[in-house]
Amino acid sequence: MDALILAAGYGKRLMPLTKNKPKAMVKVADVPILERALDKLRRCNIKRTVIITGYQEKKIKNYFGSEWNGMELVYRKSSWFGDGILKSIIKAKGLFKGKFLFLCGDLIPTTQTLKDMIKTRGDIVISVTTLNPRDSVVAKVNRKTVKKIGMFGELTDCNKAVAPLGIYNPKFFDAVSWCIKNKKTHRPDAINCMMKKGYKVKAFNLEKDSLIEIDTLKDLKFAEKIIFQRSIDSRFKEEDRTIILDYLNLPITKPVTRLFAKTKLSPNSISIIGLFSFILASILFYNQHFIIGGLLAMFGRILDSVDGKISRLKLMKSKLGNFLEKTTDTLGDVIIVIGLALGLQQFYKDNLILIFGLSTILALFTAGHISRCLSSNYGKTPKIKYLRNVWDRYLIYFVLMITCIIGIPLAGLAYFAIAFVSFLLAKIFQSAIVIFNYGKNEEGQS
Q: Which residues are catalytic?
A: 329
Strands (DSSP E) found in 193-282: 201-205, 211-213
Q: Which is nearest to 81 in space by CA: 143, 31, 11?
A: 11
What sign has the CA pseudo-torsion 113, 114, 116, 122?
positive
Note if the bond before 133 is cis, omega within 30 degrees: no
| CA dihedral sign of residues 371, 377, 380, 383 | negative
C-alpha distances (whole Å) from 71 to each of 2, 17, 56, 63, 283 are: 10, 27, 22, 14, 47
Cβ–Cβ under 8 Å, residues 149 and 139: yes
Closest CA to 137 of 188, 175, 101, 103: 188
Distance between CA 292 and CA 303 in Å, rounded? 17
Residue 209, by phi and psi: left (phi above 0), alpha (psi -120 to 50) or beta? left
Cβ-contact 12, 35 below 8 angstroms? no
